[in-house]
Amino acid sequence: MRIVAIVGRPNVGKSTLFNKIAGRRISIVDSTPGVTRDRLYVDVEWRGERFQIVDTGGLSTHPDEPLVEGIKRQVMRTMEESELFLFVIDGRQGITWDDRDIALLLRKTGRPVVLVVNKLDDPKHDSALYEASNLGFEHVVGISAEHSRNLGELLDVIISLLPEDKYAEGREDEEIAVAILGRPNVGKSSLLNLIVGQERSLVCESPGTTRDAIDSAIVFGGRRFRFIDTAGIRRRSNIDSPVEFYSTLRAQRAIDKAHVVCLVMDATEHATDQDKRIAGQIVEKGKGLILIVNKCDLIDGTTLDHLTAEVRDAMQFVDYAPLLFISAKTGMNVHKIYPAIVEIHENWQRKIPSAELNQTLRDLLTFQTLPSKVGKELKIVKCTQVSTAPPTFAFSVNDVDLVPKTFERHIDKLFRKAWEFEGTPLRFFWRKASRRSKLR
């Protein structure tokens, strides 16, 4: 898909513009310069034309924090893959030396540039367009991203300058959305970079480098994947800034977008209470799950069996999830992630025909004692799979009060033995059968 990159120095309103074009708040917007560090992608459709908008970190020739060089590398990578640039400047502040340096950099690419003069909230401020024209770009649009002023005009200019989409055909292929979640500094961004084969997320020793949820769309083995790297999820009591609060909120919303979630843990500090809480959120939202223990290059190989037992014991409530031991640093076992994602996605969407479902259920329960209470035994009339993603089953029974949680867990185990449901939660609903139903 064609890519349009939003570039400019810090704090000129790039993320506000990105959110307005996307139609929802995706980038974190804060008055502190440098809030956006990674690249954020979102699909956009305007007048029948589809393209991707990319938000980038602010470019500065006067770095004042350790991550500035990393941000610059991210922006340069974006410029290499983009067909068009939205060069955003602050119309109220006027042209700065940083703006002139960025303009020179963009001209060298030879690709179309739209100079976006932001923060022109009222037509009386449009005189700033005359000064902006001194940067020498043919296409200049004055907007107010905050108030959505002239955004339609800007989008019209964008689609008029975009080249033809060579890959328009076949773009409706099914895509598997995969969220990478975990506590801060467990190696999520390093893993993403290894999976997609480039530095898509910034990697730094200090926790909290990733602030937004970063989307990376790739094709592997003929399948389309969209990986979502997220900020580390801390306990609410440990969140000490508004930016970090919204980063955590984005990470939690990434679960909603995902089909499969990779929960990354640290081999030196695994299966913590916070890891369990995150896993609980994933189960609650009914998503496929892979447990990944990273940094295994730091532990002795002889302790792997012991580590497996510890993780399984601590995470018994997700014992259906595959457990992978990897090292994002050395690449150990990372190749196993793709096949696991594909298999879990298939299991998550698995549909069992009703005839097969009920026949197998009768066979499984034939020689088993069903729950009873005060001499009244549970009778199952039928079972129907009512939905997939995750697989959800409705049982018609003579009395729903006769179904304890232990029996539901027993049914879960029986279903997993009968059909392939590794990596996906199963949901069961119990309802009273009608009087006309024949009890079995």
**CATH code at 88?**
3.40.50.300
User: Is there a domain that residue 168 lies in?
Assistant: no
Q: What is the pLDDT of residue 343?
A: 96
Q: What is the pLDDT of residue 393?
A: 96
Looking at 296, 321, 348, the residue that finishes a domain is: 348
Check if the beta carbon of residue 84 is closer than 8 Å to that of residue 5.
yes
Instruction: Kindly state the average pLDDT of the residues 359-367.
Output: 91
pTM greater than 0.75: no
Task: Count the neighbouring beta carbons within 10 Å of the beta carbon of residue 74.
Answer: 24
Strand partners, 224: 175, 219
User: Is there a domain that residue 54 lies in?
Assistant: yes
Looking at 129, 161, 193, the residue that finishes a domain is: 161
User: Is there a domain that residue 166 lies in?
Assistant: no
Q: How would residue 166 be classed by pLDDT, with cut points 50, 70 and 90?
A: low
Instruction: Kindly state the average pLDDT of the residues 256-280.
Output: 91
* Distance separating alpha carbons of residues 227 and 229, to the nearest angstrom: 6
267 and 399 share a domain? no
Structure tokens at 87: 């060069």
275 and 320 share a domain? yes
Instruction: Kindly state the average pLDDT of the residues 344-348.
Output: 97
Distant-in-sequence, close-in-space partners of 93: CB < 8 Å, separation ≥ 6: none
User: Is there a domain that residue 129 lies in?
Assistant: yes
Cα distances (Å, whole numbers) of residue 80 to 75, 109, 181, 276, 328: 9, 8, 28, 40, 26
pLDDT at residue 322 tops 90: yes
User: Is there a domain that residue 140 lies in?
Assistant: yes
Q: What is the pLDDT of residue 29?
A: 37
pLDDT at residue 325 tops 70: yes
Determine which helix (DSSP H) or strand (DSSP E) holds 406, and give its type and residue range: helix 405-418
Distant-in-sequence, close-in-space partners of 351: CB < 8 Å, separation ≥ 6: 385, 388, 391
377 and 328 share a domain? no
157 and 306 share a domain? no
Instruction: Kindly state the average pLDDT of the residues 333-354.
Output: 95
Q: What is the pLDDT of residue 58?
A: 73
Check if the beta carbon of residue 117 is closer than 8 Å to that of residue 129.
yes
195 and 252 share a domain? yes
Distance of CA 423 to the CA centre of its chain: 18
* Distance separating alpha carbons of residues 363 and 139, to the nearest angstrom: 72
193 three-state secondary structure: helix
Percent of the chain with pLDDT over 70: 79
User: Is there a domain that residue 410 lies in?
Assistant: yes
User: Is there a domain that residue 420 lies in?
Assistant: yes
236 and 118 share a domain? no
Instruction: Kindly state the average pLDDT of the residues 373-402.
Output: 92
pLDDT at residue 65 tops 60: no
Determine which helix (DSSP H) or strand (DSSP E) holds 393, and give its type and residue range: strand 392-397
Q: What is the pLDDT of residue 288?
A: 97
* Distance separating alpha carbons of residues 41 and 235, to the nearest angstrom: 27
331 and 361 share a domain? no
Q: What is the CATH number of the domain that holds 394?
A: 3.30.300.20
What are 69-87's pLDDT values in tens digits? 655 666 666 677 788 999 9
Q: Is the peptide bond before 63 cis (omega within 30 degrees of 0)?
A: no
219 and 344 share a domain? yes
User: Is there a domain that residue 119 lies in?
Assistant: yes
Looking at 128, 161, 194, the residue that finishes a domain is: 161
249 and 298 share a domain? yes
| Structural domains in the chain (count) | 3
Which of 140, 225, 142, 234 lies closest to 186, judged by CA? 234
267 and 398 share a domain? no
101 three-state secondary structure: helix
307 and 185 share a domain? yes
**Which domain, by its residues, includes 421?**
354-432
53 and 25 share a domain? yes
